[in-house]
Amino acid sequence: MTDTPADLPPPVYKRVLLKISGEALMGDQNYGIDLKTAERVASEVKQAVNSGVEVCLVIGGGNIFRGLSAAAKGMDRAAADYMGMLATVMNALGMQTALERIGVQTRVQSAIPMTSICEPYIRRRAIRHMEKGRVVIFAAGTGNPFFTTDTAAALRAAEMGCDALFKGTQVDGVYSDDPRKNPDAERYDQLDYLEVLSRDLKVMDAAAVTLMRENAIPIVVFSIHDKGGLARVLSGQGVCTVIGQRPAANAN
């Protein structure tokens, strides 16, 4: 399960950031981290690392605490967002444990310093970790309230010089509507950043999409639940939606 499929061509990306939601770690639970689900996601990351791709991650915190929802109910927005950042640290530590159990060296770096449990975010150190084959998980968002983990993922992808931002979602790409509710929703193979913004397709928040557009970093949307899906999409195969320019080896 953790070995890269032998029939796949070499990856067309060298360094990527994988963004997944906190909800993706819940499995069939209503709250928290499902260990089997975390282990399955970890095996997907291991396949990518075994293929030679340098990987970093950003994980949301919605499975534990959602700051925006709490703010909507009357909680101070800044305080709610800081609580959400702490939830992302919990998820990062859980994913680190799952990865290291299957032999993947991992470092957690937090935008909010908490040196007793993880490293502070230091850009050059993070790059060096990836160059050594370690997976780096960026926690605590940007360290500032009023910014989503989507924006944090876009920021870190730009800072790390990633070839693409991979967003693992509940479905296999970007649709005109929620395909789980609307069977007639149209699926897109490729989109431009401005199309995503003008159609309000809800792939990522506008700040994240704009940051990726300004840095010419493609966003690759795929299903995190598809076994072996990450390795296939990294090799230019598999089902996904690419926002921006596809790599030359994967161009149609």
Q: Indicate the annotated binding residues for UMP.
A: 61, 81, 142-149
Q: Report how far residue 154's alpha carbon sits from residue 134's, in angstroms, rounded to the nearest whole number.
A: 20
**Backbone CA torsion sign across 211, 217, 222, 227:** negative
Task: Write out the DSSP string of 97-166.
Answer: HHHHHTT--EEEEESS--TTTSEEP-HHHHHHHHHTT-EEEEESTTSSTT--HHHHHHHHHHHTT-SEEE
Q: Please answer whether residues 204 and 20 qualify as being in contact, where contact means their C-beta atoms are separated by less than 8 angstroms.
A: no
Question: Binding site membership: which residues?
Answer: 19-22, 61-62, 66, 81, 142-149, 169-170, 175, 178
Question: Binding site membership for ATP: which residues?
Answer: 19-22, 62, 66, 169-170, 175, 178
**Backbone CA torsion sign across 154, 226, 35, 46:** negative
